[in-house]
Amino acid sequence: MDDSLHTEQYFVRYDYPHPSEENRLWLSTVRIVPQDPQFVLQILHGVDEHKWRYLPFMEYVARHGGIVVCHDRRGHGESVFREGLGYPGDHPDEYALSDIDAVYASVYQPIPDDGLVLIQDDDYPRIDPLPRYLLGFSMGSLEAAAYLGANDTGLAGCFFCGMPHREPFVNLARLWVWLLSLCGGESARPFLMNLYALDRYNAAFRKNARHDDSGDRFRLSDLKSLSFAEMEEELAEMEEEDRILSEAEKSDPNRSANDFLWLSEDEDNRKRFAADPLCGADMTIALFRYLLRLVHDAYKSAYYDRHNRTIPLWFFSGEHDPIAGGEKHTADTVRFFRDIGYNNVENRLFPHMRHEIFEDADREAAYQAVTDAIDYVNDTAAAILCDLHRAEAEAYTEQLGANETEK
């Protein structure tokens, strides 16, 4: 851990606007604060994962001058109801944007000894002390789109990473989920629907998968070319891979790295995901319903107020990401946002990456792309501000000269 960074975990709740009693929830949150912060980046993670997976990325951004905050979204990580992982509560769409605002407001609050931060109405910053950026990944990018639609004037920029592309049959899927809810209720976990949601993305990669997870990465003869120190390092890496695989088998003997081929090309990352008890839980009807509504609304122009049409929007995804849809579908997504009036939209595909660009082998390229984009906007804003100040100073000097001439 970098000594210049201050990392805190705490829990956020708010009573304004007033959630119903059954939907009150302490949101598990982590923030990292550098010594001299220049901006705030708020991260919204994807479905069936949690905030701690973003810790290396958060530390990277913090070392580049950002306060970084990320919370476990409802039904994920340590922000869970009694129904467990994968259940976001009743009507999560009514609270998601308020959750984002409350977690953002907590950035500027001291953390009490009990770690519980209760946000009141007057705790919300009326004027942002620092430039504020929002980054959503996968399902989190859909929530970011919903937030953009209602609050684009409050952001300095917004990142959409691995954003699901437009689904032509989303209304049919919503009808199917509604019918299933009549049978099992909102907390039911439909087996076939969960299986399909996973398998449809795996299919494209399965034929190229290496089915032997325990295969040696090099032959014994290769060890002869290594120094003793290199040999020790290589053997330590192999032991760590065996440990990760062992944990995955203990967590769920039926789960393996090949169940998550769509996540990333990095097999170690897939093993870690399979071994993580907070990742990959079966989704409930309530979560399916919320996800499909987000997909539907994200591609409807009526849901965007568009008060700030010049806000920078960045769309980042892996070249082989089946959820973002690769070059063709990502281009369609970018075109939608340009067509509805946003005129500062950028797109970048990362080669040899799949869905999880912040976890794949070349993850630091994605890290740097985010900080480069923020640096560019901040530098441009600073330059514009300097120009304004210079123009004001010149006008003031000219006025003083005119006054002296009149005298």
- pLDDT tens readout for residues 183-217: 888 888 988 888 777 777 887 776 665 444 444 44
CA distance 357 to 324: 11
On whether the CB atoms of residues 50 and 78 are closer than 8 A, the answer is yes
Looking at residue 93, its pLDDT comes to: 85
Lowest mean pLDDT among 2-16, 63-77, 189-203, 209-223: 209-223
- CATH 3.30.70.3000 for the 6-170+284-390 domain, yes or no: no
**Range from 83-97, 318-332, 370-384 that averages highest in pLDDT:** 318-332
On whether the CB atoms of residues 102 and 14 are closer than 8 A, the answer is yes
Looking at residue 131, its pLDDT comes to: 93
Lowest mean pLDDT among 140-154, 200-214, 241-255: 241-255
Sole residue written with tokens 């994962």? 49
Q: How far is CA 240 from the centre of its chain?
A: 27
**Global confidence as pTM:** 0.83
* All CATH 3.40.50.1820 domain ranges in the chain, comma separated: 6-170+284-390
Token pair of 308 as six digits: 């700030």
| Percent share of the chain, pLDDT over 70 | 78
The total number of residues shown for the chain amounts to 407
Looking at residue 403, its pLDDT comes to: 57
